[in-house]
Amino acid sequence: MDESSHSNIPTNETCYTCHGAGKGGIKVESPKLAPVRKAAETGKPIEWVRVHAAPDYVYFNHSVHVNRGVSCVSCHGKVNEMEVVSHVEPHSMGWCLNCHRNPEEHLRPVEAVYDLDWKPEQLDRKDFYQGLLDGGAHPADLLGGIEGEKTAVDLPEGVGDTLAYLVEKAGKEFWRDSSTRGSRWRTRAPLAGEST
């Protein structure tokens, strides 16, 4: 999930490592794991039921999102608490755009992506954004992700300081373009007299 552009279904061997008799021993006799036991006995893969599918014209890179702090929970809900995995979000273009326009409401530290019980109040915004920068994110990517036209007063608590911090990190390399719908951070050529 964090290396591939799409999320693959694990092989039965992966499941059986924990759920097989004489293996991890986790819920070995559970009726819900009968398909795992049957697949181990017969050698035939489990027939999975697809729950989430994007139309062919949609390009979604799973690893880019996971490696930038988007948790499974943001898109798939708390699957660890579901009796049967179901669709909890529409995965529509509008839904995706809402997240891209307001990422601070959906991101978490990369090391907490697989912690399905993580809570947003555990986040130190400045450390979070510094972690993204340390991980190779470009300040313009982070600035562009914070919805245009917001002022520090309009941002959630702590994000105003973070925005100022990112602007400082970005330095003179970026300018705020308000000529299009919504304000966006764009790279620009250095002005006369500025060092490159």
Query: In a structure prediction context, what are the per-residue pLDDT tens digits for the chain, which is 196 residues long?
Result: 677 777 777 788 888 888 888 877 888 999 989 999 999 999 999 888 888 888 888 888 888 888 888 998 999 998 888 888 888 999 988 898 888 877 777 888 888 888 888 887 777 767 777 777 777 776 666 665 554 434 433 444 455 566 566 666 655 444 544 444 444 444 444 455 544 4
Q: What is the pLDDT of residue 85?
A: 82
Interval 108-143: pLDDT, tens: 888 888 888 888 777 776 777 777 777 777 666 666
Nearest of 92, 104, 181, 91 to residue 145 by alpha carbon: 104
Question: With the C-alpha atoms ordered 8, 14, 20, 26, is the resulting torsion angle positive or negative?
Answer: negative
Q: Decide the pairing of beta strands 174-177 and 184-187.
A: antiparallel
Across the strands, what pairs with 81? Answer: none
At position 75, the amino acid (one-letter code) is: C
Return d(Cα 178, Cα 185) in angstroms, integer.
9
Q: Angle formed by the axes of helices 34-42 and 12-19, to 10°?
A: 120
DSSP 127: H
DSSP E strands: which ranges in the chain? Answer: 174-177, 184-187
Return d(Cα 3, Cα 82) in angstroms, integer.
26
